[in-house]
């Protein structure tokens, strides 16, 4: 499995995933940059994502929806806030309605992705920051920890393709 650790820090209001891949940093960056590759892993295996808009430039917005086994769709969006290709990406990550518009019922999280070369592999650290303990607990209860672990577990197959 590619995910080597998951740490929930209720004091810092963060959830951190660390994964390692047998590929260089440039190749791992591609799974974030290319929407077709991103679709192959963003979302757990039973909830695959479809990106309708995606760009990794500061100020750009990505829109996507995930489709569940029964056909239910859950929308999401990113607002890219920082890019240092190929080693760092920051974005707001929120929920969207059926039209792709942001919903206000859950605040967006702030996500930072860093890619580091470690012994010929790439270590990817994904840090999500929450606005409150209630938000952190709600998203973990909704399956964020398990879902992201399963989603990142699909990256190895994307890298081999």
Give the pLDDT confidence score for residue 104 in this predicted structure: 85
Give the pLDDT confidence score for residue 21 in this predicted structure: 97
Domain 3-160 sits in CATH at 3.30.530.20
Instruction: Please give the model's pTM, rounded to 2 decimal places.
Output: 0.94
Scored b (16 or more CB within 10 A) or e, 43-77 reads bbeebbbebeebebeeeeebbbbbeeeeeeebbbb
User: Could you report the average pLDDT of every consecutive run of 10 residues in the chain (161 residues)?
Assistant: 90 98 97 97 94 97 96 96 98 93 91 96 98 96 94 96 89
Domain boundaries defined on the chain:
3-160
How far is it, in rounded angstroms, from Cα 53 to Cα 36?
11
Give the pLDDT confidence score for residue 2 in this predicted structure: 85
């Amino acid at each position: 499995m590619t995910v080597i650790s998951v740490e929930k820090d209720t004091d810092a209001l963060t959830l951190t995933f660390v994964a390692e891949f047998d590929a260089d940093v440039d190749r791992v960056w591609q799974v974030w940059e290319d929407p077709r590759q991103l679709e192959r892993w963003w979302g757990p295996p039973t909830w695959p994502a479809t990106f309708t808009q995606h760009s990794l430039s500061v100020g750009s917005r990505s829109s996507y929806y995930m489709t569940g086994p029964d056909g239910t769709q859950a929308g999401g969006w990113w607002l890219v806030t920082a890019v240092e290709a190929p080693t760092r990406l920051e974005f707001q990550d929120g929920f969207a309605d059926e039209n792709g518009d942001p919903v206000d019922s859950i605040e967006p999280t702030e996500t930072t992705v860093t890619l580091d070369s470690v012994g010929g592999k790439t270590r990817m650290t994904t840090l999500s920051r929450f606005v409150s303990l209630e938000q952190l607990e709600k998203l973990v209860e909704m399956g964020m920890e398990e879902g992201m672990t399963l989603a990142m577990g699909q990256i190895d197959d994307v890298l081999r393709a």
